[in-house]
Amino acid sequence: MTPIRYFYTLIEFPLAMMKTTTNKVIKKGKVQTEKIDRPNKKPVRFAAIDFETADYGRDSACALAIVVVNGVKVEKKIYHLIKPPRDSFVFTYLHGIEWKHVSRKPAFEGIWRDVHAHICDVEFLVAHNAAFDKSVLHACYNLIDVEAPQKDFLCTMKLARKIWNIYPTKLPDVCRKLKIPLDHHSAVSDAMACAKIVTAAIIEGHDPFSILSTKRPIPRKCPRSSIDLRTTGKKELLKP
């Protein structure tokens, strides 16, 4: 190698490393978070979900909204009123749903296939205070003895704290800070708000999962088992 070529190698190598290194953003008073640039990769596809419950039981879902997002574009919105297993309503004062609104609606057993199809078709799920919605989802599946989809959950409450240092971090607080419209405890509005929180982070260049884990979630196949209560009462495999 000639001396001139060696000199240019010393210059080109650091520049190449700079191009491939993940960018860092450090702002005063805010937590350092990663930004990524993946122009040649497929947009992330996720679903924001929100449950409303009738009482303190996690199996008492009375409404569910799912907002499917591809990249930063909303693909579809799904909304279900659900007949819970009990007619006692404790949280009507929050969401306005009463027994009379759901008494003739299908129970979760009647909608789970539609829910399953939309949840299994995305990379991960999003919710505000995700532990609650995840527990409701699993309780509803347990109620009908069907294995719940094993999807990773991204919590927009944690996301808002890490990226924008927002406190307090209730959904109305985050939406007010990010100027996102919200009709709180309307399942569709809450799910849409969660979707917009994640897309706001993506638009700013953040990888939402980089602040919660070291790796992106691995897409998992959803279980296809169910119970046919009208026949054997035993688990049977659903045909694709």
Q: Could you report the per-residue pLDDT of 76-120, keeping only the tens digit for each?
A: 999 999 999 999 999 999 999 999 999 999 999 999 999 999 999
* Opening angle at CA 83, ends 79 and 88, nearest 5: 125
Reading the block at residue 166, the tokens are 């927002």
State the DSSP H helix or E strand holding residue 137, giving kind and residue range, or none if neither: helix 130-143
**Would you say the C-alpha torsion 106, 137, 158, 168 has a positive or negative sign?**
positive
Return the CATH architecture of domain 41-215: 2-Layer Sandwich (3.30)
In the chain, where are the structural domains located?
Answer: 41-215
Determine how β-strand 61-70 pairs with β-strand 73-81: antiparallel
Cα end-to-end span (Å), the chain: 60
Whether 2 has a pLDDT exceeding 80, the answer reads no
- What pLDDT sits at residue 229? 33
Kindly report the pTM of this predicted structure: 0.76
Residues constituting the chain: 240
